[in-house]
């Protein structure tokens, strides 16, 4: 039986791969430029962040949004057997490349776990479990196998299954009969800054929508599909997201809310919401 990896980051078991493998440009989210495959200037010798408790006021809001879905510890401790890129500099390029792939695989596992739990169709649940086990086996393989993975094909398979489950779950809320007004909530809609507060958006398809800075305060998003929606600065104070579809921790970390905001059990309330 394939062991499915944990999908929550355990930074103490990771060689700061998110702080090294990935690059970022100076912006509102990052105070400096950092090329990929280089260590962040805030990284300590033990791979911890020297300004972890002060990231937002120091201009590193983007770091507080990121989530590796548990890929960091798997790559650090399993794929590379606990030997860091510092101790073995020759492994750095491979380790960083593997991390980028495994993070994508773990993100797929996150979505598939929800699809398996939310579907009413036993056949879809079995399909989600089978695909999940196949991806987990790949993620727990050796470096060469991981780097040889056809990630694009896996993305396509996962997306097809997620959409099937979404249509099924949203149909229970008569989403198929709900006609969104022009410029209103729908898949891929540009809703930047829109006022959508105090509404019942149950079963609405917001897949890939641009909701940057939108106001969804005190709204009910039960069964609303949020796959890939851009939630940077979206206001969710008092909103019900507890049964929204395909919501991730990075999306929530990028949004704004408060202690009245209802979140799914596997999503934690960001510190900056307090």
Given a cut of 90, whether residue 17 has pLDDT beyond it is: yes
Domains and their CATH numbers in the chain: 175-274 (2.160.20.80)
Q: pLDDT by residue (tens digit) across 107-152? A: 999 999 999 999 999 999 999 999 999 999 999 999 999 999 999 9
pTM more than 0.85? yes
Decide if 33 contacts 112 (C-beta within 8 A).
Answer: no
Burial-class residue 66 by CB neighbours within 10 Å (0-12, 13-18, 19+). middle
Of 117, 231, 222, residue with least CA distance to 165: 117
Q: If you write DSSP's letter for every residue of 33-56 in order, what string do you get?
A: -B-TTS--TTB-TTS-BTTGGGTT
Q: pLDDT by residue (tens digit) across 179-227? A: 444 456 788 899 999 999 999 999 999 999 999 999 999 999 999 999 9
Q: With bands split at pLDDT 50, 70 and 90, how would you rate the model's confidence at 178?
A: very low
Given a cut of 70, whether residue 30 has pLDDT beyond it is: yes
Round the CA-based radius of gyration of the chain to a whole number and report it: 19
Residue 174, pLDDT score: 67
């Amino acid at each position: 039986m394939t062991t499915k990896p944990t999908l929550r980051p355990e930074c103490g078991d990771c060689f700061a791969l998110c702080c090294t493998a990935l690059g970022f440009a100076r912006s509102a989210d990052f105070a400096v430029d950092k090329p990929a495959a280089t260590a962040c200037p805030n990284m300590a010798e033990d791979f911890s962040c020297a300004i972890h408790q002060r990231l937002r006021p120091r201009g590193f809001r983007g770091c507080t949004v990121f989530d590796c879905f548990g890929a960091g510890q798997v790559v650090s401790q399993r794929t590379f057997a606990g030997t860091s890129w510092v101790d073995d500099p020759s492994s750095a390029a491979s380790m960083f490349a593997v991390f980028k792939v495994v993070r994508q695989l773990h993100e797929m596992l996150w979505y598939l776990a929800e699809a398996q739990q939310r579907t009413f169709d036993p056949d879809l649940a079995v399909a989600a479990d089978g695909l999940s086990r196949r991806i987990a086996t790949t993620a727990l393989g050796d470096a060469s196998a991981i780097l040889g993975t056809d990630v694009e094909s896996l993305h396509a398979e996962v997306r097809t299954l997620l959409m099937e489950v979404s249509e099924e779950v949203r149909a229970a809320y008569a989403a198929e009969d709900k006609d969104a007004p022009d410029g209103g909530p729908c898949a891929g809609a540009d809703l930047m800054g829109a006022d959508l507060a105090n509404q019942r958006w149950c079963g609405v398809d917001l897949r890939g929508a641009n909701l940057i800075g939108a106001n969804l305060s005190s709204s009910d998003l039960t069964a609303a599909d949020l796959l890939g929606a851009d939630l940077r600065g979206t206001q969710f104070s008092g909103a019900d997201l507890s049964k929204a579809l395909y919501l991730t921790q990075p999306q929530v970390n990028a949004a704004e809310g408060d202690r009245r905001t209802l979140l799914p059990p596997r999503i934690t309330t960001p510190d900056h919401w307090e």
